[in-house]
């Protein structure tokens, strides 16, 4: 079978985790996690925002495997401030170095510069990464069903919840959604991008939204560029969004954030 980008990311990530564990043993990051800043409510902030407009998870993303370098003028703290002023509800910070040119300190810098709850956006395979996320002051983590089996996802979710963090469970098709709904988290991200092929279509949210139970908070992720995209997704049933590239490419990130949120479909 052909190796996908997710296979390559996973192989690299497992090497990095082993090396991180050798450099910084678990008991030390547990100490740091216990002393981290108080958790900011991630899912609850989205729920409140989408009651009267849209919830926005604004992503701090320097590069990606599908697009290469997205933003060269890259200051995580300045971007976090601009996103907050523009009306973002939460932040997502890519901490993966090898494929996204992210870094762990970016998360801490972005969170320190704003009052917004922050998601650690990475490829999580080991509880060690979750404790590490909390030690960086993350408020939430991402679990990607396409790259985890049910037992792994349940173990990682339990670990995140023990540390008080929210879990955004990401799916791309019906089978992954059904597996995600067996978990405890009611925060479901539908990724419009197929992480195996990079093909992006808003039809993915259109198809899956109707199968997401009402008690879940649905986030439409990836490939959202304009107010019309948000309007279309809201009409399909998603009022919270995760947006990276479209905002990262803008010179004036604050104005672009305000502009994309300006015209919500009201309940």
Ligand X SMILES: O=C(O)c1ccccc1NCC(=O)[C@H](O)[C@H](O)COP(=O)(O)O
Q: Which residues are catalytic?
A: 59, 61, 121, 170, 191, 221-222
CB of 66 to ligand X, least distance (A): 3
**Site for ligand X contains 76 (CB under 6 A):** no
CB of 93 to ligand X, least distance (A): 11
Site string for ligand X, 153-192 (x = CB under 6 A): --------------------------------------x-
Say how far apart CA 258 and CA 87 lie, in whole Å.
6
Say how far apart CA 134 and CA 142 lie, in whole Å.
13
Which stretch in 24-32, 36-44, 60-68, 133-141 sits in contact with ligand X by CB under 6 A? 60-68
Q: 67: which residues sit within 8 A by CB, 6+ positions away?
A: 245
Q: Find the residue with minimal CB distance to ligand X.
A: 244
H/E stretch holding 61: none
Say how far apart CA 133 and CA 147 lie, in whole Å.
19
Longest CA–CA span in the chain (Å) reads 51
Q: For ligand X, give the closer residue by CB, 49 or 60.
A: 60
Q: For the chain, how many residues are written?
A: 267
Crossing angle for the helix pair 227-236 and 253-261, nearest 10 degrees? Answer: 40
Angle at 103 (CA atoms; ends 101, 108), nearest 5 degrees = 145
Q: Which of 53, 55, 56, 61 binds ligand X (CB under 6 A)?
A: 61
Q: Which of 53, 76, 87, 223 binds ligand X (CB under 6 A)?
A: 223
Q: For ligand X, give the closer residue by CB, 26 or 97.
A: 97
Q: Which of 26, 47, 65, 155 binds ligand X (CB under 6 A)?
A: 65
Site for ligand X in 227-266 (CB under 6 A): 242-246
Q: 266: which residues sit within 8 A by CB, 6+ positions away?
A: 52, 53
Which residues sit at the interface with ligand X, rule CB under 6 A? 5, 59, 61, 64-67, 191, 195, 198, 221-224, 242-246
């Amino acid at each position: 079978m052909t190796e996908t980008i997710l296979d390559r990311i996973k192989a690299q990530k497992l090497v990095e985790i082993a090396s991180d564990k050798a450099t910084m043993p678990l008991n030390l990051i547990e100490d740091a996690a216990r002393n981290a800043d108080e958790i900011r409510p991630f899912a609850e902030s989205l729920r409140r925002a989408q009651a009267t407009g849209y919830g926005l998870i604004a992503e701090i993303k320097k590069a990606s495997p599908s697009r290469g370098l997205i933003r060269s003028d890259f200051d995580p703290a300045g971007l976090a401030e601009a996103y907050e002023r523009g009306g973002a509800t939460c932040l997502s910070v890519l901490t993966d170095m090898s494929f996204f040119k992210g870094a762990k300190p970016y998360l801490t810098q972005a969170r320190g510069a704003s009052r917004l709850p922050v998601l650690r956006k990475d490829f999580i395979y080991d509880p060690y990464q979750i404790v590490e996320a909390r030690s960086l002051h993350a408020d939430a983590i991402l679990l990607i069903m396409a790259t985890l089996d049910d037992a792994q996802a349940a173990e990682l979710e339990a670990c995140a919840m023990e540390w008080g963090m929210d879990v955004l469970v990401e799916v791309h098709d019906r089978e992954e959604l059904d597996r995600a709904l067996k978990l405890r988290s009611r925060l479901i991200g539908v990724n419009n991008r197929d992480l195996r092929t990079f093909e992006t279509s808003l039809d993915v949210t259109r198809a899956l939204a109707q199968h997401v139970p009402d008690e879940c908070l649905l986030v439409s992720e990836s490939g959202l560029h304009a107010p019309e995209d948000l309007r279309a997704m809201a009409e399909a049933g998603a009022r919270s969004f995760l947006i990276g590239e479209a905002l990262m490419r803008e010179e004036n990130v604050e104005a672009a954030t305000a502009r994309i949120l300006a015209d919500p479909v009201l309940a």
